[in-house]
Amino acid sequence: MDHFQHRDGVLYAEDVPLPRIAEEVGTPVYVYSRATLERHARVFREALSGLDDPHIAFAVKANPNLAVLKILANEGYGADVVSGGELTRALAAGMKPEDIVFSGVGKTHAELLQGLDEGIGQFNIESEEEGYELAAIARRHGKRAACALRVNPDVDARTHEKISTGKRENKFGVPLDRAAEIYAGLAREDGLDMRGIAVHIGSQLSSLEPLETAFVKVGTLIAELRDKGCAVTHADLGGGLGVPYKAGEQLPAPADYGAMVARVTKGWNVRLMFEPGRVIAGNAGVLLTRVIRSKRSGNGPPFVVVDAAMNDLARPAMYGAWHDFEAVEPTGEKMTAHIVGPICETGDTFAMDRECDALVAGDLAVFRTAGAYGATMASSYNSRGFVAETLVDGDRYAVVADRIAASAIMDAERVPEWLG
């Protein structure tokens, strides 16, 4: 459930009519709903209520806006970060260092050091090489890093290949059949406190089955490690739960996910950790856009050219992803159209042959489910600026990220004088 609903023929975010934001902030603009974010954070926590003190770290990559992170910090969420930049954001938003987990295959020396200096709660080590490098840095600085070893369980998440992370051929984690040996080796390092196993097999999962298969493998590994005399006190089960992108689409409910986790992890005797991203933020945001013009195309459906483009919302161009598209002030009439942005490549297409509300130049529309992996994946391609972000709270809203003009991006560039 979200708080983007039509009232008297106008789409509102909570109690704010979207035309008001379009007028005052301009388009394209992301609009997030505080009530929806809080609701999703609570529903997910509630789904895990059968577990003993689960640790929930929001996957910052899904939506790193400071105001969004602040809301989740207020909800008691920690952060799953994958770069020094995300770590800095999580701290700036008020997340406690001990509630921060640092994931990612390519943490640099500087980023490992930053994590140690900030006293973060856990490093999710993705390779043997990274583990020994972290051990050396920690030892040199007189510190001990709490770590989980991320395993690659070789499970097909049955999602888009670009967001699948748990197959043997993917770059993530260490192979399951070497995990115990690597863990035991790292556990002998003074600089490391090897305390757990981490797994994350992919994103936008539409079935719980692959997750269950992966978790069962983690359970077996934990038993094997204990048999070898290794301590295991934590298990990080990652994120991945999918959300509906099409009205009426059915996806596993958080409650069913929680029940499956409770069943599979019974008797593990560890603190369970989670890294949800999309399921918290996805349906808590829309991308508000204005139709620039409608363009006839031979005998086919018209091209509706909107002012948002693939640089603002990359998912359709990148993954062929579907986002529901609807008028802010629908007339009740429908049309079939290709929905495209102004960028000069054919990939800048949001939808082909889409049946949607009838729209003409100047009309406002939204792409739904844009609160996760939306603004965060923006670029300035075609010398377009960075899109603005707003947060609605009841009948008020705030701009939580200024639009960055193309000229401001240009200001960071230099032409050496020797070019004449």
Stretch that binds ligand LLP, among 21-29, 35-43, 110-118, 234-242 (CB under 6 A): 234-242
Q: Does 238 bind ligand LLP (CB under 6 A)?
A: yes
To the query of whether residue 147 is one of the catalytic residues in this protein, the response is no
**Residue 374 backbone phi and psi in degrees, to 5:** -105, -95
Q: Which of 27, 65, 122, 204 binds ligand LLP (CB under 6 A)?
A: 204
- Residue 367: count other Cβ atoms within 10 Å of its Cβ: 28
Q: Catalytic pick from 147, 230, 344, 356? A: 344
Asked whether residue 345 is marked as a ligand-binding residue, the answer is yes
Residues of span 9-68 touching ligand LLP by CB under 6 A? 59, 61-62
Q: Which of 83, 114, 122, 203 binds ligand LLP (CB under 6 A)?
A: 203
Residues sharing a CB contact under 8 Å with residue 227, sequence separation 6 or more, in sequence order = none
HSE toward the beta carbon, residue 368, CA cutoff 13 A: 21
Q: Does 73 bind ligand LLP (CB under 6 A)?
A: no
Q: Does 107 bind ligand LLP (CB under 6 A)?
A: no
Q: Which of 240, 254, 330, 341 binds ligand LLP (CB under 6 A)?
A: 240
- The answer to whether the beta carbons of residues 39 and 418 sit under 8 Å apart is no
Q: Does 315 bind ligand LLP (CB under 6 A)?
A: yes
- Amino acid at position 98, single letter: E
* Least distance to ligand LLP, CB of residue 161, Å: 12
**In angstroms, rounded to a whole number, what is the distance separating the alpha carbons of residues 91 and 89?**
5
- The answer to whether the beta carbons of residues 152 and 174 sit under 8 Å apart is yes
- Residue 169 CB burial class (10 angstroms; 0-12, 13-18, ≥19): exposed
- Residue 311 CB burial class (10 angstroms; 0-12, 13-18, ≥19): buried
β-bridge partners, 4: 13
Stretch that binds ligand LLP, among 214-222, 273-281, 330-338, 344-352 (CB under 6 A): 273-281
DSSP code of 253? -
Asked whether residue 354 is marked as a ligand-binding residue, the answer is no
The annotation places the binding site for substrate at: 278, 315, 319, 345, 373
Residues classed as catalytic: 344
Binding-site residue positions? 240, 275-278, 315, 319, 345, 373
What is the binding site for ligand LLP (CB under 6 A)? 59, 61-62, 80, 103, 163, 165, 200, 203-204, 238-241, 275-279, 315, 319, 373
Q: Which residue ranges are tagged as binding site for pyridoxal 5'-phosphate?
A: 240, 275-278, 373
